[in-house]
Amino acid sequence: MSITVKYFALIREQAGKSQEIVDYRPGMTVSDVWRTVMDEDLPSDIKVAVNMEYSGTDLGLNDGDEVAFFPSVTGG
């Protein structure tokens, strides 16, 4: 019963970690994950992906999901 949480770029640096595992609770949303690990509300400028697809912050998660938090992308 777990969620894999990943951080990238500035978020990764600020968190001081690139990945962690949090316990899964039924009904848990993306925002809940951030609140669990960071002890604050998810800032609106942070992008979210669930299982490697962009996602909204209210999405309900399933056991085993991978959630990623990152700033605006700057590739290309």
Which of 16, 26, 27, 72 is in the footprint of other proteins by CB under 8 A? 72
CB count within 10 Å of CB 67 equals 24
- Cβ of residue 44: shortest distance to other proteins, in angstroms? 16
Which of 4, 8, 31, 59 is in the footprint of other proteins by CB under 8 A? 8
Start-to-end C-alpha separation, the chain: 37
Kindly write out the interface string for residues 17-36 of this chain, putting x where it contacts other proteins by CB under 8 A and - elsewhere. --------------------
Q: What is the separation of C-alpha 53 from the centre of its chain, rounded to a whole number of angstroms?
A: 12
Q: What is the separation of C-alpha 32 from the centre of its chain, rounded to a whole number of angstroms?
A: 9
- Cβ of residue 49: shortest distance to other proteins, in angstroms? 6
